[in-house]
Amino acid sequence: MRIIIAIDIIGGKCVRLTRGDFNTKKVYNEDPLEIARQIEDSGLHYLHLVDLDGARNKKIENLKILEKIAWKTKLKVDFGGGLRSYEDLITVFNAGARQATTGSVAVTDPHLFLDWLAKLGQEKLILGADFINRKISAGGWLEKTDIDVVSFVSDYRSKGVKYTICTDIRKDGMLQGPSTALYKEILDEVKVSLIASGGISSMKDIEDLRNAGCEGAIIGKAFYEGKITLKELAEQC
């Protein structure tokens, strides 16, 4: 299972939110590159880089952070936030991203998302499946829908999606454990490479996600708050 560290960016700084609420912003480092280098030095390889300004403003805002991390580390970066066009995707790939994560367009314009998938291939594009009470949310978690997360992932898997990041918004930043049972329900129904996100607080959570069949796990606040160390995580790789 891939161990993936999250770096969320607001105003060029490394931050964390609670349940996606921008009013709960906490700055953990003024320089995201410093965190990226810590991740690389620990022996970990994967980074989930989220442009929260971009997600809120519906356009890429923190491209220079991606460029700096991609140029100055060997981390394999997936980038999300503010991706609204094929040109945006090409921009982030040219800046050094290995994969791109997008959920909002998959909700609001499925034909456009599938066009991107056809052009880029299933290894480059990750479906973002952010949900609350099993219902998909979009637009930086500000736009609610009535779409069930299991059917959302299943439908896109049938259309060629390989990877999906599933984030339980209620658990994000709460350090109360991930939605492992729901992820297992998805994996029992859909043969997809599921990356779990939201609520991970311990090494046991990670082991439970591994046993459930998750392809990856994204760790954010648990690392920044010292609940899990990079050394512990690296030993799992």
Query: What are the catalytic residues?
Result: 8, 130
Per-residue DSSP letter, 85 = S
CA angle at 128 for the pair 123 and 134, rounded to the nearest 5°? 135
Cα–Cα distance measured from residue 22 to residue 136, given in angstroms and rounded to the nearest whole number: 19
Name the residue type at position 192.
V
Q: How many CB atoms lie within 10 A of CB 68?
A: 18
Q: What does the alpha-carbon distance between residue 194 and residue 164 come to, in Å, rounded to a whole number?
A: 5
Are 150 and 135 in contact by the 8 Å Cβ rule? The answer is no
Q: In this structure, what is the dihedral angle of CA atoms 83, 85, 88, 92, given to the nearest 10 degrees?
A: 60
Q: Which tokens go with 126?
A: 């990750």
**What is the distance between the alpha carbons of residues 137 and 165, in angstroms, rounded to a whole number?**
13
Q: What are the φ and ψ backbone dihedral angles of 127, each rounded to 5 degrees?
A: -80, 125
